[in-house]
Chain A
């Protein structure tokens, strides 16, 4: 079955960067992309962007352009999200989700809590 296992919770200071990993298994890795979605405490879902794990092509939400990088390691079927210049408003649970074409996140990881606090 499809499994997306994310790295553990992170605490960062404002201005720092965070890197979250997402290891995929149970499906043909190269045939599906990965979307990243976040959820601030008590708030709704917010899409950060999508990566084609086969070509490395990325499509970032305009709000995060210049602050986010998504990358993939096909040898370990792991996808990474890096977010820089963190501020308190970035405190959220970050989810990776399998997404064939960057249109429908169909299977989700368990989420990674990122807390930004001085």
Chain B
């Protein structure tokens, strides 16, 4: 089965840039989606198909995907960005949805 690897935690100071990575074999050939989950809330889609922002998501959120790593970048980080972030792909080989283990973003 396809495995997505995310670092368990990332810390960043307010106003700085956070880069959250998602590793997978040839992930650059797949569409990667990112979800933000605040404590006690349901996940929210913040980036789909590598770099597209759904309506209502600030321009501070961007994504990229190449080789074996996809990256979610959050510019000018705010306290409200503190959350768990999950990457996700669709594995065409099994026709199944796969999630990474999640990264807890802490705003210092």
Contact = CB atoms under 8 A, between A and B. Distances in A.
Contacts of B33: 104
Contact of B97 (A62, A95, A102, A108): A102
Contact of A46 (B45, B54, B99): B99
A80 interface: no
Contact of A95 (B42, B49, B88, B98): B42
Given A44-B86, A104-B33, A106-B54, A50 B44 contact: no
Nearest to B43: A108
Nearest to A6: B42
B61 interface: no
Interface in B1-37: 31, 33, 35, 37
A44 B97 CA distance: 14
A52 interface: no
Interface string B40-53: 00111100110000
B85 to A, nearest CB: 11
A45 B86 contact: yes
A69 interface: no
Interface residues of B, number: 23
**SS of B interface (majority):** strand
A106 B48 contact: yes
B10 to A, nearest CB: 15
A21 to B, nearest CB: 16
A104 B102 contact: no
B99 A45 contact: yes
Given A37-B43, A37-B97, 13 more contacts: A37-B99, A44-B101, A45-B35, A45-B99, A59-B96, A99-B97, A102-B97, A104-B31, A105-B43, A105-B88, A108-B43, A108-B44, A109-B42
Interface of B: 31, 33, 35, 37, 42-45, 48-49, 54, 86, 88, 90, 94-102
